[in-house]
Every structure is written in structure tokens, then in C-alpha cells.
């Protein structure tokens, strides 16, 4: 049975992250970043390529550590990976030798709870629209279907926060828009906190409650924008277009023609 998950509040306090380079100056990617994401909020991170959006996501996931500062999920400091923070990458990264059932069940086996919780697996196939593909292998699936399987594999651990690192960037335009709606549906049903990295301004406006606009490296927070547009949103709504222009101006592209670009 699928039940709502209490979303965790995320606090980022004065985080700085620098990467050393052999024979060259160190690269500071994040510079004294402080943010608060409310429980159950959908947040989009947007900014120039290489500004540290994915690095910030990996810090929240616990996959890397900050040089200075601290991060918390609710009142627990983030110091290592944990199943309460799920991370979905741009590429599905499914195990090609395992069936979709076994891929989705992987997290349960890793946590040692497969026997007790395997009864819940069919519900996650239904949640992401993959019923009938339990015995299929990843190479049998389209890109969108594989990403659905990747989502289910992460969601089955009931994370308080779902972290999405450009999860739709490799999809064609039609599939991408469909998956945007599917992710929003899951977010509304599960009530977890979602933080998504995207380069697509329209995608950020369409999906998020708030948008964090980051500067070029070393990244600082240019602005946090609350999206005060009702759901479901229409991309040709005047308020939608006005907000797009505002974000582009913050990104220093005021007056530039914005076109959606997808990796086909």
C-alpha cells in the first residue's frame, strides 16, 4: 500500500565546497551557501553550467562532504548517505543484468528488509506506470520507462527527500513533458520534499514551489523565487511568461530568446 511520506525539512548552513587540482589552483564551487527547504516543498535549482548545482545535491545526499558549513535533514546532520535521502541521476543507472523487479527491489535488499517489504513492490510498479514489466530487463525499456524504474527504485525506500539531478535531460521533448507530470503526480501523492537540478527555466517554473537561482562559479545564491502560480500550470499563461523573463534577467540573459533544448 502506498501512503504519504512526511517530507523532511532541509537546512544548508554556510556551505563551502572546494575541489583541489593537481598543479593548479583549487576550484571553489560553492561559496558560503545557506538555504532552507520546507517540508514537502518542491524546489528547483537553476544556474549556469558548472556552477555547483549537482555538487549541492550530492552534499545533501551525503555523497560528498562540505569543506565548511553543515547540512541537516530535519534535526539530523547529514554526514553520509542514507535511505531517507534518495538521489535520481540523469541516466537511470539500472543494473543491466537484473530484471526491473530486481532493480526496484535492490534498495530493500541492501537495507535487509526485502522479506518484510517485498509485498509493497507491486504498488511501486503501479505508482510509476510499469505494471507488466516486472520480468523485463533494462534494455527492453524506453528512456522514459527506464527513468520511471529508476524513480521506483529510489521511492521504494520511502525517502523524506527525493533529490533529482537533471532526471529528464536525456529524454525527447514529448517524453520529458509527460515525465514532468508524472513526477508532480508522485510528489503530490507522496508529499515528500523534492529538490531538482535543471537547466530548463520553463521546467523549473512548471514544477517547483520555489526556484533557487545560482550564480556562476563560485556559486552564490542570486535569488530565491516563490512561484505564485496555481496548479496545474500552463506554459503560455501570462504569469508564467512574466516569471520566465524575470528569471532570465537574473541570469543575465534579459531580452535573449529562450528556447527549450532537449538532448535527443
Residue 138 placed within a domain: yes
Residue 64 placed within a domain: yes
Identify the domain containing residue 121 by its residue range: 10-29+49-234
Residue 169 in this model has a pLDDT that exceeds 80 = yes
Mean pLDDT of the 115-140 span? 94
Maximum distance among all Cα pairs of the chain, rounded to whole angstroms: 57
Residue 15 placed within a domain: yes
Helix and strand numbers, DSSP H then E, in the chain: 8, 10
Question: Can you tell me which residue has the cell 530487463?
Answer: 137
Q: Is 233 exposed, middle or buried (0-12, 13-18, 19+ CB in 10 A)?
A: middle
pTM of the predicted model, to two decimals?
Answer: 0.90
Q: What mean pLDDT value characterizes the chain?
A: 90
Any long-range contacts for 17-22 (C-beta under 8 Å, 24+ apart)? 17/52, 17/55, 17/59, 17/64, 17/66, 17/67, 18/67
Q: What is the CATH number of the domain that holds 195?
A: 3.40.50.300
pLDDT-based confidence at residue 263 (cuts at 50, 70, 90): very low
Residue 228 placed within a domain: yes
N- to C-terminal Cα separation, the chain = 36
| Ramachandran angles phi, psi of 143, nearest 5° | -60, -45
For residue 71, what is its C-alpha cell? 547540512
Residue 79 placed within a domain: yes
What is the domain count for the chain? 1
pLDDT-based confidence at residue 255 (cuts at 50, 70, 90): very low
pLDDT value for 41: 97
Residue 260 placed within a domain: no
How far apart are alpha carbons 162 and 130 in whole angstroms?
Answer: 20
Residue 135 placed within a domain: yes
Amino acid at each position: 500500500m502506498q501512503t504519504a511520506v512526511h517530507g523532511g525539512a532541509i537546512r544548508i548552513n554556510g556551505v563551502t565546497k572546494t575541489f583541489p587540482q593537481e598543479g593548479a589552483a583549487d576550484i571553489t564551487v560553492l561559496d558560503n551557501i545557506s538555504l532552507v527547504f520546507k517540508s514537502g516543498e518542491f524546489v528547483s535549482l537553476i544556474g549556469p553550467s558548472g556552477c555547483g548545482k549537482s555538487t549541492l545535491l550530492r552534499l545533501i545526499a551525503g555523497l560528498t562532504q562540505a569543506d565548511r558549513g553543515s547540512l541537516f535533514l530535519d534535526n539530523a546532520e547529514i554526514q553520509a548517505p542514507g535511505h531517507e535521502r534518495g538521489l535520481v541521476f540523469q541516466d537511470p543507472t539500472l543494473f543491466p543484468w537484473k530484471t526491473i523487479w530486481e532493480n526496484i527491489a535492490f534498495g530493500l535488499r541492501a537495507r535487509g528488509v526485502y522479506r518484510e517489504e517485498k509485498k509493497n513492490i507491486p504498488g511501486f510498479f503501479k505508482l510509476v506506470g510499469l505494471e507488466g514489466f516486472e520480468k523485463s530487463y533494462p534494455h527492453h525499456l524506453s528512456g522514459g520507462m527506464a527513468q520511471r524504474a529508476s524513480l521506483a527504485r529510489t521511492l521504494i525506500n520511502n525517502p523524506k527527500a527525493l533529490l533529482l539531478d537533471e532526471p529528464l535531460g536525456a529524454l525527447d521533448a514529448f517524453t520529458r513533458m509527460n515525465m514532468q507530470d508524472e513526477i508532480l503526480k508522485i510528489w503530490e501523492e507522496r508529499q515528500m520534499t523534492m529538490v531538482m537540478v535543471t537547466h530548463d527555466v520553463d521546467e523549473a517554473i512548471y514544477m517547483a514551489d520555489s526556484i533557487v537561482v545560482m550564480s556562476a562559479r563560485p556559486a552564490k545564491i542570486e535569488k530565491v523565487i516563490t512561484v505564485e502560480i496555481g496548479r496545474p500550470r500552463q506554459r503560455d499563461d501570462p504569469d508564467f511568461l512574466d516569471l520566465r523573463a524575470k528569471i532570465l534577467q537574473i541570469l543575465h540573459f534579459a531580452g535573449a530568446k529562450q528556447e527549450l533544448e532537449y538532448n535527443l
